[in-house]
Structure 1
Amino acid sequence: MKVILVCKSVSHGNTARIAQAMSQVLGGRVVDPADIDPAELADCDLVGFGSGIFNMSFHPDLRRFIAALPTRQHRKAFVFRTSGLPETPFRRYVTTLTRSLEHKGFEVIDSFGCRGFDTVMPLRLVGGIHKSHPDAADIAAARAFAENLRVQITTPPF
């Protein structure tokens, strides 16, 4: 099974730690959107797309990478993220990214998210929030999520 995780991780490396945990289970590699030719996704069985959440959205570099992909991808994908705060009902960034991927032809089969150390203003004034995240439980949850994906992809339908 060929797997690539396209991950934009800045600030504290929260999302990179989650992506690495998933890639160990899936046997894939983690790449920054700037470091991959979109053509490399053509022969993947599964592609993950993830970043930290910035201003209630996925990182702009990840969104631009997806926007530049050709349509008719016809492959399975998943979305992952780390965030200091939960997704709000008025700004559904996971749904927005999922729709962008589906527009490109991906079948988004699941998504994963966990807390991450966040020092965006005004949180920086108090030293940030979720300083210990992602923690061991978050990494274990990411591994379990990836194992579930691996089983979904490798188990033949009835």
Structure 2
Amino acid sequence: MKAVICYYSRHHGNTRKVLEAMAEEGAVDLVDVTTRQSVRLEEYDCIGFASGIYGFEFQKAVVEFARQYLPQGKPVFFVYTYGAAKGTGAKALTEIAGEKGCPVLGEFSCRGYDTFGPFKLMGGIAKGHPDAQDLENARSFFRRMQERLH
């Protein structure tokens, strides 16, 4: 399975840590949606989109990237980290996938260290996350997805 994950990870790099754990399980290209790089998503067997949850939603750059570049009919999956609440999770991306006839293979989420806004005043929340168990769960999720596509 040839996979790509298009992501945004800035605040504390929580999402990137999860994606790096997944990448240990197989051939995965990681594409930062904020860089201007040429990528042909139609060349992949499976496409992931990943972000932290910002204001209860996926980061807008990831949603816009999916809207613009997701090819018709490709299997997709979603990965996200969150501090306090999942919010709407991958709802916007699920809708885009539906519009493009892309089957959703699943989504993985876990807590991530968060010092945004008022959380900074109290030293942050979800300290130590993603932790070793979160990363093992991410690897396991990715292995299951690989098995589904073989």
Contact 2:2 2:28 in 1 (8 A): yes
Which residue does the alignment assign to 1:51?
51
Q: TM-score, normalised by structure 1?
A: 0.88
Distance in 2, Cα, partners of 1:126 & 1:110: 34
Contact 1:5 1:23 in 2 (8 A): no
Which residue does the alignment assign to 2:126?
130
Distance in 2, Cα, partners of 1:97 & 1:30: 18
| Overall identity of the aligned pairs, in % | 33
Give 2:113's match in structure 1, choosing from 111, 117, 136.
117
Measured after TM superposition, the shift of residue 101 of structure 1 is 2.1
Distance in 2, Cα, partners of 1:45 & 1:64: 21
- What are the superposed Cα offsets for residues 102-149 of structure 1, whole Å, 9 maximum, x if unpaired? 212321110000000011111110011011000000000000000100
The amino acid that maps onto 2:79 is F
Change (3 A) 1:83 1:56: same
Q: How many residues align?
A: 149
Q: TM-score, normalised by structure 2?
A: 0.92
Structure 2: gaps of 5 or more residues = none
> Is residue 96 of structure 2 the alignment partner of residue 95 of structure 1?
no
Which residue does the alignment assign to 1:37?
38
Q: List, as ranges, runs of 4+ consecutive aligned residues in structure 1 with deviation greater than 2 Å.
A: 34-38
Structure 1: gaps of 5 or more residues = none
Contact 1:18 1:134 in 2 (8 A): yes
> Is residue 136 of structure 2 the alignment partner of residue 140 of structure 1?
yes
Which residue does the alignment assign to 2:2?
2
Which residue does the alignment assign to 1:74?
73
